[in-house]
Amino acid sequence: MLMTFLRVPLVALAMAAMCLAAQAETLKDIRKVSVAGDGSVSRDVVALTGQQLKRSVRSTRRPVALPKVAMEVHLANEIRGAGAQAGRNSAEVTVLLRGGSGAPVASERFIVNSFMTGKAADRALANAISQRIAVTYSLAPVRAASTGSRGNTKAYRKHQPAARRQAAPQAAAKSTGPAAEPIIIPSEAALTVKPRVRKPKAETSAAKTPAPCVVTVTTNCN
């Protein structure tokens, strides 16, 4: 009976030791992140995943000195659900950590699933990939990145005609500025005209109301 009672804590301690050892192998000071993908992966997924992971790495603080490594993320075999599986998307993720000499020190491979349809499908898949990597390597929480970036906006404006780019700020200035009120200069005749002031109507008072006629010996009301 005593052996059975002691066996449970011993098993728990062994599992905890195994978890600590596994975490010690994956816990590194990641200083650089690069994300790439094959032809099946959307460019937006690759770009958004790289943005979120870089933010997470910059926000991560290690309490002790750890080996500095560079993280290389490769995305492949992106699958978009269709028909009854619409909205179910997945991608194969391979993470490789390289030491200061460039030699591989650790690697991980897994499949990430996301559930979203329409234009937000790429963002949902990028969020799922970034969060999975952040949890696996004990990074700071991932903040979702927006689909529209400043780089894309600059590239769009760069390809626009010069006349349109110049007309846009002018139109914005006209629309945002306050509307100029017209200036009215009165003529000399208008300045000499006396204003008409309408006199208020005199109110009939109770004193001016005729008194009722009373027939007497000397007064006839007809």
pTM attached to this predicted model:
0.56
Pick from 54, 39, 23: nearest CA to 91:
39
* Higher-pLDDT residue of 140, 10: 140
Q: What percent of the chain has pLDDT over 70?
A: 53
pLDDT tens-place string over residues 60-90: 998 888 889 999 999 999 999 988 888 899 9
Say which residue the tokens 């109507």 belong to: 201
pLDDT tens-place string over residues 20-34: 444 545 688 999 999
DSSP 142: P
User: Rounded CA gap, 13 and 6, in Å?
Assistant: 11
pLDDT tens-place string over residues 93-147: 999 999 988 899 999 999 999 999 988 999 999 999 999 999 999 999 987 655 4
* pLDDT at residue 198, rounded to an integer: 64
Cα 49-81-147 angle, rounded to 5 deg: 30
The single-letter code of the amino acid at 10 is L
How far from chain centre, in Å, is Cα 154? 19
- One DSSP character per residue, 15-60 reads HHHHHHHHHHHH--EEEEEEEEE-TTS-HHHHHHHHHHHHHHHHH-
pLDDT tens-place string over residues 33-54: 999 999 999 999 999 999 999 9
User: Rounded CA gap, 22 and 136, in Å?
Assistant: 11
Strands 68-80 and 29-37: parallel
CB neighbours (10 Å) of residue 108?
A: 15
Task: Sketch out the chain's domains with CATH numbers.
Answer: 30-140 (3.30.160)
User: Rounded CA gap, 50 and 34, in Å?
Assistant: 7
